[in-house]
Structure 1
Amino acid sequence: MNFTNFITLEKLKNSLIFIIGFLLSPLCWWNDLIFNLPIAYGFGKFISIFSSELLIPASIIGYWLSNIIGIILMQLGTVNLINKSDEKQNLAKNIWMGVGTSTAFTFLMVILWQNNLLDFSLPSFLTSTNVF
């Protein structure tokens, strides 16, 4: 097997799209502090130019959008990696499928959290007031 046939520029591009999507998605547990929250805050700051009261709501929307964009990028990267044919993908269909799956994932997490099946509280060592 020839290495140049194994790794093509197209596979490399789609792998990079998937990795960026994974880093933005809610499936990556450590990404919020490094990627999503700064993006959300930047989005909120930009929108708050028009009204300072929009900083928090726009930051929440920016956070949600960064997660959705991450899931859509993961989906596009995966579909293009797996797809063997040269036919073009339906971008609108892929975007709506990404929005639908990420919204379903969000609803699932909220339901699990509301029924106390998931615990989003901080670990005790982060909330402890005793340092020594």
Structure 2
Amino acid sequence: MESVQKVDQELSIVENGTQQQSQQTNPGELKIDIFKKLRGGFFLVLGYLLSPLCWWNDLIFNLPIAYGFGYVCSLFSANLLVPCSIAGYWISNVIGIVMMQFGSQDIFQKEPKERNLKKEIFSGLISSTVYTLVIVALIQLKILDAPDLFSNG
């Protein structure tokens, strides 16, 4: 009989603790949490569209951004169009990966954690560079075909 009373007391303690926790969550925190998840979803989707993980994005997003960047650079020197277009393409991919990291942290992270922007940008640079090197290696090994952009013939 004593064990039944102890269990009953423990259950009432747990129920009281649960009620206190639910009362501590106010509507303002809920609104902030929903806003954070929406912002994270926006960054995650936009980052995915800019990242190299999305196979169809280049024609719609990355190449126009890269060409625009190259065009602005070519206003200073005509020889900068192609190199700056390549740099603009690479930068748009890096920005996409970093945006995905920001968005996924907003969505999936339960407790607020201090962000290290330098570390996240460095991680984005490394992953985009590895992706670029893999593509260049696949082209050099003739596994992927690349258009002949620079042929004079």
TM range (shorter): 0.7 to 0.9
Identical positions, percent: 48
1:24 partnered with 2:24: no
Aligned to 1:48: 74
5+ long unaligned stretches in structure 1: 123-132
Cα offsets for 1:35-60 (capped at 9, x unmatched): 11111111111111111221111111
| CA deviations over 1:19-78 (Å, ceiling 9, x no partner) | 111111111111111111111111111111111221111111111111111111112211
Q: Is the 8 A contact 2:47 2:98 kept in 1?
A: yes
Q: Distance in 2 between matches of 1:46 and 1:121?
A: 25
Q: How many residues align structurally? A: 118
Q: Is the 8 A contact 2:139 2:146 kept in 1?
A: no
Aligned to 1:119: 144
Greater helix content:
2
TM-score by length of 2: 0.68
Residue matched to 2:6: none
Structure 2 gaps, min length 5? 1-26, 148-153
When the two chains are superposed, the root-mean-square deviation of aligned CA atoms in Å is 2.3
Give the TM-score taking structure 1 as reference length: 0.78
Which of 17, 41, 44 pairs up with 1:15?
41
Name which one, 1 or 2, has greater alpha-carbon Rg. 2
CA–CA separation in structure 1 for the residues paired with 2:124 and 2:75? 30
